């Protein structure tokens, strides 16, 4: 009975299985859904590093929020920079283009939809939807293409081509809607600069003024349409007469700008959308060229299933990050969903930052900028505990003040070490000495000051301890002397000393004193790291001690690394979270056990959902699409099988390929301002600078 229930759940969720993953003819770049009515359909996701959009089966977002998916922003659209006191808030649904025939609206529960196909192209972040819509004796062939410009981040486009089997009329409704946005001010309207742009709508939400506008052409001719203001924006109705078998092409451009990007977002929005509608071919070419540039930094392998998943992983990473450091930092689900109110956790630095830093430091700059911008909030968090320095929030928003509810998770003070490690790695990949002097040193010194004061001296045992913290393994709740937290503090203190010496700044004596005697729980006889003082083999949500092997790279013997990895392998629950499998797979590879690393990779498959391989935290939950998890998968391939490490003395590689993977190539790795390529097979490897 349990197996039948499990199979029914898996069918509903449509998780990726090993049989499909092992096929030889998998398309590495395109995902397709052929059934608009299929169970477990997960909307396609597109993004450009500033704006993200979940595309429903109909191919454009006018069905939102009526068909809202779980943990998705109500209008399906999110834009970085829009925060209220609690978290990230949704943006205007500005790319809706509704097709109508009589009183009937084209959507999955209206009329009959046949010959359906929806394709997501990862190479160009474009969704193309095609079908035949049967209604009132007419058969409309509808093709819709939607994309968010990678070259001009505030702009998106919908292209709809409609053909009928008879002479008839139909309508299109161009919609901007923000009525679902919490606590927005009344909408304001302004005439645009030309008749193709009747109105710009703007409102205040999240402390920012945000403007949106659209422009429309029908068969290349501007179409002002009939405008109706609505509580959330406006609707533009256009009625179109077409001849049998004669295609009609509607192109809609939308723009959305906040006062973070422009002093006058209304004017900026009007200008952007007017230019875009008049230069459609150029806009599309710029978009494709920008994505082509991103894909110069890629991963290639001979295994079709792995290739499909790494392309998916890089696609989702790139969709969520601006390559010029001018976007934002993704929460656990990035721009694809609003789980945890899109607060910033350690997920950012520990999971999605490392592949971004190696492949595109401009993307990684979003993380460092966020932490420096919120350093005043981190200082307030430390001061609230009566301590000096800075304490970054476990759940951060716009200000850097702690947003986590309750008293347990707010004690995940290890976040400081996670941030510091990422800041240091960013310096290493860029080689930016000004960054180190003007930003990194100050932040790291503040975190060191916090740890020096947070640690307490145990005179009886002549050691420093850190008491009453929440472990990364949240199921353990509050404990004393969590190994990951204590070593993270030690690492920070030692790094602060190293940077001070490098910059000829006096080293604080307390940094050295605490670092020297800060205790790490270790079973010396068994050569195993103990998760926390008093740990006795309980189930763990997350392998804190495995994280000490990677990414913290705590100095230890090979024996201790292997013993620790082996000891905790069976301590996870039956349904592991994605990050646990990823990190364990990396450490398996480091320990030379390529086949165990492969099994950990296969453990990730049930987390991939539906036709578009969106990602969930655990196999049976609906936290979609988890950028944290898919970034862990990327790290398993890059840092596990590729053996890549960012060290002070250079970019290192020690590839360990499982038998199922014959070749691995990673193009565009950054270190100290240089770019490298890695090529590995079972006979050896090369790590070489690009010409």
Has residue 19 got a pLDDT over 60?
A: yes
Has residue 388 got a pLDDT over 60?
A: yes
Has residue 269 got a pLDDT over 60?
A: yes
Candidate CATH numbers 3.60.15.10, 3.40.309.10, 2.70.98.40, 3.40.50.10420; the one for domain 34-294: 2.70.98.40
Tokens (6 digits) for 557: 């013997």
Count of C-beta atoms within a 10 Å radius of residue 98: 20
In this structure, the strands spanning 126-135 and 138-148 are antiparallel
Tokens (6 digits) for 601: 């990779």
d(CA 147, CA 158) in angstroms, rounded, equals: 7
pLDDT confidence band for 158 (50 / 70 / 90): very high
The backbone torsions φ and ψ at residue 535, rounded to the nearest 5 degrees and listed phi first, read: -65, 135
Task: Give pTM, 2 decimals.
Answer: 0.96
pLDDT in the model for residue 1: 45
Residue 20, C-beta contacts closer than 8 angstroms, at least 6 positions apart: none
| Average pLDDT score over residue span 494-506 | 98
The backbone torsions φ and ψ at residue 78, rounded to the nearest 5 degrees and listed phi first, read: -135, 150
pLDDT in the model for residue 623: 84
- The residue ranking higher by pLDDT, 184 or 299, is 299
- Judged by average pLDDT, the poorest of 86-100, 117-131, 354-368 is 86-100
pLDDT confidence band for 73 (50 / 70 / 90): confident
Has residue 445 got a pLDDT over 70?
A: yes
pLDDT in the model for residue 648: 98
Average pLDDT of the chain, as a whole number = 94
User: What is the percentage of the chain residues whose pLDDT exceeds 70?
Assistant: 96
Tokens (6 digits) for 651: 């970019």
Instruction: Concatenate the DSSP letters of all residues of 503-566 into one string.
Output: TT-PPPHHHHHHHHHB---EETTTTEE-SSTT--S---SS-HHHHHHTTS-----HHHHHHHHH
pLDDT in the model for residue 5: 46
Q: Do 194 and 275 touch, CB atoms closer than 8 A?
A: no
| Average pLDDT score over residue span 309-336 | 97
In this structure, the strands spanning 463-465 and 77-79 are unpaired
Tokens (6 digits) for 376: 């005043």
Query: In the chain, what are the domain boundaries?
Result: 1-29+298-342+574-691, 34-294, 374-571
d(CA 442, CA 448) in angstroms, rounded, equals: 10
State pLDDT tens for residues 584-609: 999 999 999 999 999 999 999 999 99
Which DSSP letter does residue 417 get?
A: H
d(CA 31, CA 45) in angstroms, rounded, equals: 11
pLDDT confidence band for 560 (50 / 70 / 90): very high
Name the range with the highest mean pLDDT among 79-93, 186-200, 587-601: 587-601
d(CA 78, CA 420) in angstroms, rounded, equals: 28
**Which CATH number is 374-571 given?**
1.50.10.10
| Average pLDDT score over residue span 391-409 | 91
Residue among 547, 553, 557 at smallest CA distance from 645: 553
Instruction: Concatenate the DSSP letters of all residues of 181-242 into one string.
Output: STTPPPPEEEE-SSTT--EEEEEEETTEEEEEEEEEEETTEE---EEEEETTEEEEEEEEEE
- Judged by average pLDDT, the poorest of 78-82, 202-206, 484-488, 639-643 is 202-206
pLDDT in the model for residue 365: 99
pLDDT in the model for residue 191: 64
| Average pLDDT score over residue span 523-528 | 98
Has residue 9 got a pLDDT over 80?
A: no
pLDDT in the model for residue 85: 74
Has residue 628 got a pLDDT over 70?
A: yes
User: What is the percentage of the chain residues whose pLDDT exceeds 90?
Assistant: 85
Q: What is the number of residues in the chain? A: 691
pLDDT confidence band for 618 (50 / 70 / 90): confident
pLDDT in the model for residue 140: 97
| Average pLDDT score over residue span 678-687 | 99
Helix axes 509-517, 441-454, angle to 10 degrees: 60
Rounded (5°) CA angle 457-497-368: 105
Cα 657 from chain centre: 27
What CATH architecture is 1-29+298-342+574-691? Sandwich (2.60)
d(CA 227, CA 665) in angstroms, rounded, equals: 53
Residue among 111, 118, 106 at smallest CA distance from 173: 106
Has residue 137 got a pLDDT over 50?
A: yes
State pLDDT tens for residues 199-255: 799 999 888 999 999 999 999 998 888 889 999 999 999 999 999 999 999 999 999
Has residue 69 got a pLDDT over 80?
A: no
pLDDT confidence band for 166 (50 / 70 / 90): very high
């Amino acid at each position: 009975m349990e197996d039948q229930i499990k199979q029914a759940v898996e069918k509903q969720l449509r998780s990726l299985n090993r049989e499909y993953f092992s096929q030889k003819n998998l398309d590495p770049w395109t995902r397709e859904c052929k059934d608009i009515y299929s169970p477990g359909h997960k909307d396609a996701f597109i993004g450009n590093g500033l704006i993200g959009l979940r595309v429903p089966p109909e191919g454009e977002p006018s069905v939102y929020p009526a068909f809202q998916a779980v943990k998705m922003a109500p209008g399906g659209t999110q834009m970085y920079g829009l925060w209220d006191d609690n978290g990230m808030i949704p943006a205007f649904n500005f790319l809706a283009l509704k097709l109508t025939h009589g009183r009937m609206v084209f959507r999955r529960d209206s009329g009959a939809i046949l010959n359906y196909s929806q394709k997501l192209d990862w190479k160009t972040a474009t969704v193309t939807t095609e079908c035949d819509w049967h209604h009132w004796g007419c058969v409309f062939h509808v093709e819709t293409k939607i994309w968010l410009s990678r070259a001009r981040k505030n702009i998106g486009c919908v292209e709809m081509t409609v053909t009928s089997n008879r002479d008839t009329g139909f309508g299109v409704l161009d919609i901007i809607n923000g009525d679902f946005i919490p606590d927005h001010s009344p909408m304001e309207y302004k005439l645009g600069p030309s008749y193709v742009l009747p109105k710009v709508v703007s409102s205040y939400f999240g402390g920012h003024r945000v403007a949106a506008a659209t422009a429309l052409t029908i068969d290349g001719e501007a179409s002002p349409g009939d405008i109706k203001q609505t509580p959330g924006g406006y609707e533009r109705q256009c009625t179109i007469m077409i001849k049998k078998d004669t295609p009609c092409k509607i192109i809609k451009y939308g723009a959305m700008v906040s006062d973070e990007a422009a002093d006058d977002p209304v004017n900026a929005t009007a200008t952007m959308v007017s230019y875009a509608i008049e230069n459609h071919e150029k806009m599309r070419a710029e978009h494709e060229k920008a994505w082509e540039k991103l894909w110069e930094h890629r991963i290639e392998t001979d295994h079709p299933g792995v290739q499909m998943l790494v392309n998916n992983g890089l696609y989702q990473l790139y969709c969520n990050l601006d390559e010029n450091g001018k976007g934002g930092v993704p929460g656990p689900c990035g721009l694809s969903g609003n789980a945890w109110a899109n607060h910033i956790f350690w997920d950012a630095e520990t999971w999605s930052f490392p592949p971004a830093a190696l492949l595109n430091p401009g993307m990684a700059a979003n993380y460092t900028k966020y932490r420096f911008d919120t350093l005043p909030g981190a200082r307030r968090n430390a001061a609230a505990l009566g301590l000096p320095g800075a304490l970054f929030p476990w759940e951060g928003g716009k200000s850097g003040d702690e947003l986590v509810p309750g008293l347990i998770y707010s004690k995940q003070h290890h976040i400081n070490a996670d941030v510091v490690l990422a800041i240091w790695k960013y310096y290493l990949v860029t080689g930016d000495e000004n960054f180190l002097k003007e930003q990194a040193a100050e932040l790291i010194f503040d975190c060191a000051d916090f740890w020096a004061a947070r640690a307490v001296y145990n005179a009886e045992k002549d050691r420093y301890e850190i008491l009453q913290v929440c472990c990364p393994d949240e199921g353990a709740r509050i404990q004393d002397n969590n190994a990951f937290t204590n070593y993270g503090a030690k690492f920070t203190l030692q790094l602060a000393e190293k940077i001070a010496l490098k910059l000829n700044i006096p080293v604080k004596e307390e940094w050295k004193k605490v670092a020297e005697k800060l205790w790490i729980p270790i079973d010396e006889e068994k050569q195993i790291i103990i998760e926390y003082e008093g740990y006795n083999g309980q189930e763990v949500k997350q392998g804190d001690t495995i994280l000490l092997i990677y990414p913290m790279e705590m100095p230890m013997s090979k024996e201790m690394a292997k013993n620790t990895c082996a000891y905790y392998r069976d301590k996870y629950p039956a349904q592991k979270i994605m990050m646990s499998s990823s990190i364990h797979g990396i450490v398996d590879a480091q320990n030379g056990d390529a086949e165990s690393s492969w099994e950990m990779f296969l453990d990730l498959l049930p987390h991939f959902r539906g036709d578009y391989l969106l990602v969930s935290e655990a196999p049976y939950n609906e936290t979609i699409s988890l950028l944290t998890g898919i970034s862990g998968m990327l790290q398993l391939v890059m840092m596990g099988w590729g053996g890549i490490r960012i060290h002070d003395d250079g970019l290192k590689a020690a590839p360990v390929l499982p038998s199922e993977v014959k070749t691995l190539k990673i193009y565009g790795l950054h270190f100290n301002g240089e770019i490298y390529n890695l090529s590995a097979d079972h006979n050896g490897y090369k790590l070489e600078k690009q010409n």
